[in-house]
Chain A
Amino acid sequence: MTVARHTWFMTVRQARNLMREPIWIVLLLVQPMVWLVLYGQLFRNVTRLGGFGTGSYITFLAPAIVVMNAFFGATWSGMAMINDLDHKVVERFLATPASRISIVLSQIVRSAFTAAIQAVVILLVSLALGVRVHTGALGWLVIIVAGILVNSAFAGISQAIALLTRREATMIAVANFIGLPLLFLSTTMIARPQMPGWMQTAARFNPVDWGVRAAREVVLPGTDWGSVAGHLGLLLALSALTAAWATRTFRAYQRSL
């Protein structure tokens, strides 16, 4: 109970700071817009290769861009923790009865919250570009939830790395190191049948791809709800796992004080 309350208080702090500089949310949206608008147009004919389940590449791409954006955002989420560590904000809380877990959890929740806002914006732009979600409101919700879960799964990892290294340079290196490989080892931009066999296999173990598959499933015709639930379930389990790892590294950080 205390954990939930304190997580809420601490998330409000971070969300409020974020809202004070909404320019960041906007700047972070530039990249997905480039993918959606420019890349989507550039490769519009790629669907002729077959296996895309739709003739409209933008329809194929849009839900995946939501997930990709959530993933990229998550890889940077540890930066806020490093900032709080550097400015001793965390130490100040540690001398109070504040729930220790909430200090870490609030970072993950804030990160996922940002991803959700961006998901809505990307979906609205997609709508304007002619993308239709045939499963309606529930479909929208699934796409947003896929973004939230992919984000929190990787935010947990990012927080753990932040707490272990406490250095921005390391964070940047890790974000760059995992960012593009996980993107290319997924079906974000291309239909599965068009991928080389080994990449198809690798994609099965890629949490980014789990999110892409759940989000895309509700957009394309012939939605397989079992697959949606299964992939979201996997992401939920992974999120719990990485959050647990992050709180463990927080204890290691406390011991280092």
Chain B
Amino acid sequence: MIIVEDLRKRYDGVQALDGVSFEVREGEVFGLLGPNGAGKSTTVRVLVTLTYADEGSASVAGHDVRREQNAVRRTIGYVPQDSGVDQFGTGRENLMLQGRVQGMHGRDLRTRADELLELVGIADAADRIVKNYSGGMRRRLDIALGLMHRPRVLFLDEPTTGLDPEARVAMWDEVSRLARAESLTILLTTHYLEEADQLTDRLAIVSRGKVVVEGTSADLKAGLRGDAVQVEIESGAVADAQRVLAGVGATPEQVLDDRIVVSRVENGGRALPGIISALEGAGIDVASVSVSRPSLDDVYLHFTGRDFGTEDRAA
């Protein structure tokens, strides 16, 4: 449904896209996961015809995003990161105008607006000025605007940024429900690992303008083969610890902050006593140890060599 091949784009001297490629199949919810500034939004903006890539090609539902712009625009719904609603109009007025510029009219236009207001749960506020909407209501209206002309593909750029945790979870349910109700193909971007994990059928991890890995969340995690064991020690002992860990079959993978060694073992719980005694036997002071089931955070760390949270905050 969406085919992206080797997109490259420079913005003011920054290589925003450095060869992005991925494919989205019909009917799936696909996620682009990455920290702020990784190139997710730029990719979406190329796909929804807001901007051009310098190189590479992309198509949506068989239409080239560069050569068949209006065909693409009729096929897609786009829910941008920064809303884009006219806040001085009512929810219904916003929807009606969106439908009109998409070529809808008459009864179809009115009933579709009613239907969507109902579907996203803001029917009661339909005729109120958007300025007075809560953040969650506004986001629901954004999504309704994207769905107004019954698009086959919906682009959601950071759908839950700025929402409180409760509203975020509600929005996840909403998106899953809408995807089914409207038989949509959805491409969403997010910098929340949990969101990608919960919501997407497949995802691509994007870092510094490139897709580093693509697959289902479960596959990606399984691909790490085992649990992560994090051992916190004194910074001077890192090299020794790595040697000792390798000796007991816990392959060291990363070093964080110069004093936490992350290694991967088949079964973390079972290997732990052996790891601790081996380290202490070698005279290394262990400050703390933790075992975790593979998470998307680990997947990110594994493929980029960088910690997701740190990179996101740095951006």
* Contacts from A to B (Cβ < 8 Å): 6, 9-10, 13, 16-17, 20-21, 84, 87-89, 91-99, 257
Contacts and interface: CB of A to CB of B under 8 A. Distances in A.
A96 B50 contact: no
Contacts of A87: 82-87
A96 B84 contact: no
B103 A88 contact: no
A10 B97 contact: yes
B243 interface: no
Nearest to A98: B101
B83 A88 contact: yes
A98 B76 CA distance: 13
B82 A88 contact: yes
A79 to B, nearest CB: 13
A97 B97 contact: no
Contacts of B112: none
B228 interface: no
Contacts of A91: 50, 80, 84
A201 B48 CA distance: 53
Interface of B: 45, 48-51, 70, 73-74, 76, 78, 80, 82-89, 93, 97-98, 100-103, 129, 145
**6 cross-chain pairs, A with B, having the tightest CB-CB distances, nearest first:** A92-B84, A98-B101, A95-B78, A88-B84, A17-B88, A95-B48
Contacts of B129: 20
Given A88-B80, A95-B78, A96-B73, A9 B85 contact: no
Nearest to A5: B100
Nearest to B84: A92
A219 to B, nearest CB: 37
Contacts, number: 66
A166 B114 CA distance: 35
Contact of B100 (A9, A16, A257): A9
A15 to B, nearest CB: 11
Given A95-B48, A257-B51, A89 B100 contact: no
A169 B86 CA distance: 22
Given A13-B97, A87-B83, A95 B50 contact: yes
Given A10-B97, A16-B89, A91-B80, A97 B45 contact: no
B89 A95 contact: no
Given A20-B88, A20-B129, A6 B50 contact: no
Given A91-B50, A97-B74, A97-B102, A13 B93 contact: yes
Contact of B50 (A10, A13, A21, A94): A94
B93 A92 contact: no
10 contacts: A17-B88, A87-B84, A87-B85, A87-B87, A88-B84, A94-B49, A95-B48, A97-B73, A97-B74, A99-B101
Contacts of B78: 92, 95
Given A9-B97, A10-B97, A95-B49, A17 B84 contact: no
